């Protein structure tokens, strides 16, 4: 294992590393060089026992906490959870957030340059959630982290978190899952596939090889449409009705856009300004691949492998990842205990918004693990 000294780890800010070995994907294709963009907060303890892995959702990135700035066009998506005295207390924990393989936040993806100096584009391998976890495990090796004190994720990040706990149970000290699933459902695949089709049918897609063209010629209309479709699934019908109803957008007259149309247009414009369409396709197809039970005798057998103390949380109004999916996780993971429910009118996005409810659940898990460590102080830091 190639490692970095803990004294070299930054207190914060975007970083990157190159994996020491090529990455062979589940499809059998090889990425000869993989760069991983990541961000950290706090410092790694000398015994390397205090590292926490935080995994982002589809259009998130490694910038979990902090203001927008160079390399990070948006503020931290879980900003209130990380920092001195916060839930993930940076005086206690070394928090690591990598950008997912296939993404566009510093990690190798379709827009990255291949060895011939051209963007990977259509040549980029089709990825699975397991491929992304393999890249994250190799990243942990480079950082010298043999075992995470906790792995935390929601939505697509939760897919990777549960896959971590099934693939590498000895490397996960605790597991926090929110608004996620053990396997993508038919409906989730249908929504994701529709979004991918919107991008692929844009003439600017050019078979995936649009990166060498002028920026305005890319598949941004298709990406914007995909975002509009996705954003409806992220919120609840009740919230949209209460917030917009049948109102027209102010200032546009009686025949102008409905207010909810303007809202979707706004979110489409925000995403197309910061996100690569090829990465959206790659990550979305990886989400469709998600099934912890594949090749393992089914979901129940796979979840039974998890040995980490676990908290599973659902958002009660989530229509994209409905609470029944989290109930399957809570029932199937040994010792997970009862399903926790976040009350929200916001739908799936509640896991990003209702931090006053999410934070205590994560604190509960960390306190439980800390108490167990104090009762059994001889437990090794590496777990290997």
Interhelix angle 277-289/220-234, nearest 10 degrees = 40
Q: Compute the C-alpha angle 200/201/207, nearest 5°.
A: 50
DSSP state of 343: -
Q: How far apart are CA 351 and CA 329, in angstroms?
A: 17
Q: Give how far Cα 142 sits from Cα of 21, 35, 94, 221, 302, Å.
A: 11, 12, 15, 39, 27
Confirm whether 318 is a catalytic residue: yes
One of 49, 62, 65, 155 is an active-site residue; which one?
Answer: 155
Neighbours of 230 (CB within 10 A): 24
Q: Which residues contact 16 (CB under 8 A, 6 or more apart)?
A: 35, 36, 37, 38, 106
d(CA 320, CA 232): 9
- Which among 61, 202, 276, 318 is annotated as catalytic? 318
Which H/E stretch holds residue 131? helix 129-143
Beta strand segments in the chain, E:
14-18, 23-24, 30-31, 35-41, 51-55, 82-83, 88-89, 94-98, 150-154, 175-178, 310-315, 340-342
- 77 Cα distance to chain centroid: 11
CA 217 – CA 221 distance, rounded (Å): 10
21 exposure class (CB count in 10 Å sphere: 0-12, 13-18, 19+):
exposed
**What pairs with residue 41 in β-bridges?**
95
CA distance 353 to 356: 8
Q: DSSP string spanning 136-191?
A: HHHHHHHHT-SSBSEEEEETHHHHHHHHHHHH-GGGBS-EEEES--SB--HHHHHH
Positions marked active-site? 155, 318, 348
């Amino acid at each position: 294992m190639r490692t970095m000294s803990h004294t070299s780890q930054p207190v914060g800010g975007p970083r990157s590393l190159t994996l020491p070995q090529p990455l062979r994907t589940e499809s059998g294709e090889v990425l000869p060089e993989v760069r991983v963009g990541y961000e950290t907060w706090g410092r790694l303890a000398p015994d390397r026992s205090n590292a926490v892995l935080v995994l982002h959702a589809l259009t998130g990135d490694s910038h979990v906490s902090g203001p927008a700035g160079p390399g990070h066009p948006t503020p931290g998506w879980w900003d209130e959870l990380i920092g001195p005295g916060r839930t993930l207390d940076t005086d206690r924990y070394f928090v690591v957030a990598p950008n997912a393989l296939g993404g566009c936040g510093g990690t190798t993806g379709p827009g990255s340059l291949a060895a011939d100096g051209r963007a990977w584009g259509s040549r980029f391998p089709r990825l699975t959630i397991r491929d992304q976890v393999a890249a994250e495990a190799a990243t942990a090796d480079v950082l010298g982290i043999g075992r995470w004190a906790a792995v935390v994720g929601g939505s697509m990040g939760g897919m990777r978190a549960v896959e971590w706990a099934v693939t590498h149970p000895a490397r996960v000290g605790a597991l926090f899952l929110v608004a996620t699933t053990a396997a993508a459902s038919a409906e989730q695949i249908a929504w994701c596939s529709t979004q991918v089709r919107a991008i692929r049918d844009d003439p600017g897609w050019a078979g995936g090889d649009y990166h060498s063209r002028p920026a305005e010629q890319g598949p941004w209309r298709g990406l914007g449409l995909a975002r509009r479709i996705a954003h409806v699934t992220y919120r609840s019908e009740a919230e949209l009705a209460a917030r917009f109803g049948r109102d027209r957008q102010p200032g546009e007259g009686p025949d102008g856009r409905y207010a909810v149309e303007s809202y979707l247009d706004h979110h489409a414009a925000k995403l197309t300004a910061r996100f690569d369409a090829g990465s959206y396709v790659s990550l979305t197809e990886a989400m469709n691949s998600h099934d912890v039970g594949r090749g393992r005798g089914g979901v129940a057998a796979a979840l039974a492998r998890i040995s980490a103390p676990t908290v599973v949380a659902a958002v009660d109004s989530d229509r994209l990842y409905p609470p029944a999916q989290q109930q399957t996780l809570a029932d199937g993971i040994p010792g997970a205990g009862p399903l926790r429910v976040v009350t929200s009118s916001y739908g799936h996005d509640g896991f990003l918004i209702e931090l006053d409810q999410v934070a205590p659940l994560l604190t509960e898990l960390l306190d439980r693990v800390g108490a167990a460590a104090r009762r059994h102080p001889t437990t090794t830091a590496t777990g290997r």
